[in-house]
């Protein structure tokens, strides 16, 4: 069933007519290593495009180090990930320490969505990292 839903989202995404959005932000969507639950992220990509935003959808199972190649661009980037299963509870703080290390020399944003984010709500990060419980919550502010 989830494959059929994903196909429908991909199909509808292809038919979105480009509209002019005043934002110069590009959203880079990806799932962390060993995370395969991508339906929510696919849907978020669709909604962002529908609102006229620029997106780059990288997909599932992406090591954080792969994001380094984007830092060579001077664009206003916002990395978005969804945390359903990964990283595990004992690894999530290390994961976001790595994220902060990547962001510390840039002005880029990082948004994490999903139930795993509740484990980090009380932690303060120096970088521009935001946490949202759901896609609905993030769509209210984008």
Residue 29 has pLDDT above 90, yes or no: yes
With a CB cutoff of 8 Å and minimum separation 6, the contacts of 79 are 27, 28, 30, 67, 70, 108, 109, 110, 111
SS3 state at 29: strand
Assigned fold of 2-11+24-141: Rossmann fold (3.40.50)
Residue 27 has pLDDT above 90, yes or no: yes
The pTM of the full predicted model, rounded to 2 decimals, is 0.83
Going by C-alpha positions, the residue among 118, 124, 119, 120 that lies closest to residue 137 is 118
pLDDT digits (tens, 9 = 90+) for 58-104: 988 888 888 888 887 767 899 999 988 677 777 888 888 888 888 88
């Amino acid at each position: 069933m989830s494959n059929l839903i994903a196909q429908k989202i991909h199909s509808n995404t292809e038919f979105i007519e480009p509209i002019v959005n005043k934002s110069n932000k590009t959203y880079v969507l990806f799932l962390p290593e060993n995370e395969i639950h991508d339906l929510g992220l696919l849907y978020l990509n669709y909604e962002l495009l529908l609102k006229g935003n620029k997106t780059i959808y990288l997909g599932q199972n992406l090591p954080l180090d792969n994001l380094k190649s984007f830092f060579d661009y001077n664009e206003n980037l916002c990395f978005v990930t969804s945390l359903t299963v990964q990283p595990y509870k004992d690894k999530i703080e290390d994961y976001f320490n790595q994220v902060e290390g990547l962001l510390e020399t840039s002005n880029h944003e990082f948004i994490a969505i999903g139930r795993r984010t509740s484990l980090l709500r009380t932690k303060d990060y120096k970088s521009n990292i935001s946490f949202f419980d759901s896609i609905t919550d993030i769509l209210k502010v984008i």
